[in-house]
Amino acid sequence: MITLFLLQPLKQIPAQIWTFENESVIRIGRSTDNHVVLYSAVVSRHHVELRRTGDNWEIVNLGTNGTYLDGKRITQVPAADGAIIRLARSGPNIQIRMGTEALNTVPDVSSDRPLGDPLDDQLTDAETRETTGGMVNLSSVEDDEEMGRRGRSHRGTIPVPPHLQLTPDAPTVIQSFEKDSVSAATVAATRLRHPLTDVPSPGIANPTSAEEPTQVIHTVDTYQMTQVLGQGDVGITYLAWQKGQYFAVKTLNADWIGNVKANAALEYEGEILHQLDHPQLPRWINYFSVGIQPYLVMQLMPGDKLSQCINSHGPVSLAQAIAWILDICEVLSYLHQFTPPILHRGIRPNSLICPPDGKLALVDFGMVKTLALGQSIPAGRTAYTAPEQLDMAATPAVDLYALGPSLAYLVTGHNPVSFYGDRDQGYRFYADAVPGLHPELASVLDKLTDPNPDARYQSAHDLANDLRALSVS
């Protein structure tokens, strides 16, 4: 018997399992005539075969983008028990196990842990296995009908939204990787220190139709980096131009290039975006590496940061503030309906984009790096963060919490930290400290920011209903 495990990209635990007892050849690829079907842009129609040779097995690469074992591209090698192969440099990981004992050691993969929580203690094991840092797994698993036809699954699967599934005839995305070096210009550029709060938005009304820029910081692949949109301790985000369009391109700062956990965290951020299809969220565009430096390319959402709008024009009316909070509720309802729910964990005025027309957009899923690297909450965000913000067992209530301080900021223009105090309920956000709030709205904000997540609103839908029921002017 041979057992194949499709591994989750960071936790390295099975997302899906196939067992085969009598096959002499097991085919893996994107085409539906394979035993294991993986719909991924970097996976070839017929990517790799496992061939029985007597009592042993061998791995034979057929894919355009290659098959990797221990970080090295292979052509034909023996298959050892426990070996993990990667289909393409940025494709799915599959572990090979021999014999019937393999299924006795499979961990329970049914979990409600939110998708915003990518890492646990098992990342340490993954770190020792990766030599240059893993790439994000952007593939989906095969559907239940196909799975039943090709092999037996002994555990649950990770649901994949329909828009991620490629047709069997979709072309293979051929990846190109330069030598394992990073240009001096790129390293110099990533050593910049531009606090996110001090960087203005580019103010591009139509990112999809733009002339080639006249000033370029540096060029990576076909992307011309024209401006730093934001920079934290770990990552830096550029405004980038390519073929008449502007994009947001995120990479690692120079000090973190080559760090396995930082690399994996950026990949996971890309994996989250790749699942999303919502007009108020940026679309995943591309993920690639130049040498050992990864780059995540995202849709540039037009408009200014909400913090810039308030700084430029002052506080808004209560009706406008509630309308914007309802916009965010719509996004959170979408994110939290995934199984398990996707948590943003970084909602604040700097992660919200106010478009020229339309609804607020939510950007920057970068808190995943804070979780992955065990860092503390960045300065300037604590007023918007729940007590359990970095708890791996956090629920959607962690995102809803941020909406209370955000509304207070919108109607006052003040940092909501000034509305925290140590009173009869201990240290917490007190809505009655926000001037001009109606008692009914103050009650909503107090519920939103209750230190106990079980006492808060449990869904954005419920919060939206209560906000709509208020009479405000």
Note whether 295 and 314 are same-domain residues.
Answer: no
One domain for residues 47 and 6? yes
Q: What is the pLDDT of residues 93-112, one digit of tens each?
A: 899 999 877 666 654 444 44
Mean pLDDT of 343-365: 92
| pLDDT tens digits, one per residue of 249-271 | 999 998 888 888 888 888 888 88
Q: Are 277 and 163 in contact (CB under 8 A)?
A: yes
pLDDT of residue 153 exceeding 70, the answer is no
Q: Are residues 282 and 329 in the same domain?
A: no
290 domain-assigned: yes
Q: With respect to residue 167, please indicate whether it lies within any of the assigned structural domains.
A: no
266 with 309, same domain: the answer is no
Are residues 448 and 318 both part of a single domain? yes
**Stretch 34-51: mean pLDDT, rounded?**
85
Co-location of 17 and 125 in the same domain = yes
39 and 101 in a single domain? The answer is yes
Domain coverage including residue 266: 184-299
- If one counts the domains in the chain, the total is 3
Q: Quick one: 332 and 279 in the same domain? A: no
- How confident is the model at residue 373, as a pLDDT? 73
Residue 323's pLDDT is what?
Answer: 95
pTM of the model: 0.62
Domain annotation covers residue 163:
no
409 within a domain of the structure (yes/no): yes
Q: How confident is the model at residue 330 (pLDDT cuts 50, 70, 90)?
A: very high
Cβ 345 vs Cβ 389: under 8 Å: yes
pLDDT over threshold 80, residue 25: yes
Residue 162 belongs to some domain of the structure: no
Residue 203's domain is classified under what CATH number?
Answer: 3.30.200.20
Report if residue 14 sits inside a domain: yes
CA distances (Å), 60 to each of 26, 79, 334, 387, in order?
10, 9, 41, 50
Let me know if residue 377 belongs to a domain: yes
